[in-house]
Amino acid sequence: MTEHVLNAEGLNCPLPILKAKKMLKSVPSGEVLKVISTDPGSVADFAAFCRQTGNELLSSSSEGDKYLFEIKRS
Amino acid sequence: MLDQVKDGDLENAKSMSIIVTKGTLDWAYPPFILGTTAAAMDMKVTMFFTFYGLPLLLKKLDMKLTALGNPAMKMPMMGMHMGMPNLMSMVPGVDRAATTMMKNLMNKKGVASIEDLREASIDSDVRMIACQMTLDLFEYSPDDMIDGIELGGAATYMEVAAKSDINLFI
């Protein structure tokens, strides 16, 4: 299984979501996209994005000033 | 196959329409941010560009910012938030400087450019309608506008709005 990683560091709303959506299109169903962001707003936004689109937010965590998300493609 | 069905199945998708009426740099953001984000969240999006919002469809964008009539506009400067007296806008070059300052600030903070957001709208199949009346009124030609847009009027918009879950006027 290839690892799918999106580095969205330094990007502000709505770019992390837009880039994640674009990348998810190439992620096969059931596989996981990891997103790294530095935008504090992306915590609430990725949760909402996943609820709306039906993709599963496996984890949402922070490490220093970085936010990490794992999204399972529906 | 299943993926195709999921991506292509917009029958039950939520939908949103936005009337875009303002074309300054600051006012250009809300419609494009919400439009692109809604499209990313699998919604069908239609944007109707009218009056001063119409120039946002021009091939070459030239948006400006003004402090005039916007006392809430304060920029972070030298560790403070500095406002700009309305009178300052009268001084030649001040609005241009404020525009440059805002663009630099946005760039520094990782905020997308309007050009990028407009491109993202096109890529995510946002339907963009240019108001025919505004084109006539301000003497623009469809050739001045980017490719892939439609021309329409109030009835075209109302048909979309009647079927949309969310309708915004910005």
Per-residue pLDDT reduced to its tens digit, B61-112: 999 988 888 888 888 888 888 888 877 778 888 888 889 999 999 999 999 9
From chain A residues 1-60, the ones with a CB under 8 A of any chain B CB are: 10-15, 17-18, 20-22, 25, 28-29, 39, 49, 52-53
The amino acid occupying position B31 is P
User: Measured between beta carbons, which residues in chain B are less than 8 angstroms from residue A40?
Assistant: none
Q: What is the structure's pLDDT at B73?
A: 85
In a domain, B52, yes or no: yes
Range of the domain at B19: 14-58+113-169
Q: What is the structure's pLDDT at B2?
A: 46
Instruction: Answer yes or no: do B3 and A17 touch at CB < 8 A.
Output: no
Cα–Cα dist B135/B36, whole Å? 24
Per-residue pLDDT reduced to its tens digit, B32-56: 999 999 999 999 999 999 999 999 9
ipTM > 0.90 for the complex: no
Catalytic residue among A5, A9, A10, A13: A13
Q: What is the structure's pLDDT at B9?
A: 53
Provide the number of structural domains found in chain B: 1
The minimum CA-CA distance between B119 and chain A, rounded to whole Å, is: 12
In a domain, B93, yes or no: no
Q: From the candidates B41, B106, B119, which should be mutated to test the interface with A, based on the most A CB atoms within 10 A?
A: B41
Per-residue pLDDT reduced to its tens digit, A12-46: 999 999 999 999 999 999 999 999 999 999 999 99
The amino acid occupying position B88 is M
CA A55 and chain centroid, separation: 10
Q: Which of A11, A17, A28 shows the shortest C-beta gap to B37?
A: A17
Is A13 an active-site residue?
A: yes
3-state secondary structure A4-60: EEEEECCCCCCHHHHHHHHHHCCCCCCCEEEEEECCCCHHHHHHHHHHHHCCEEEEE
Architecture of domain A4-72: 2-Layer Sandwich (3.30)
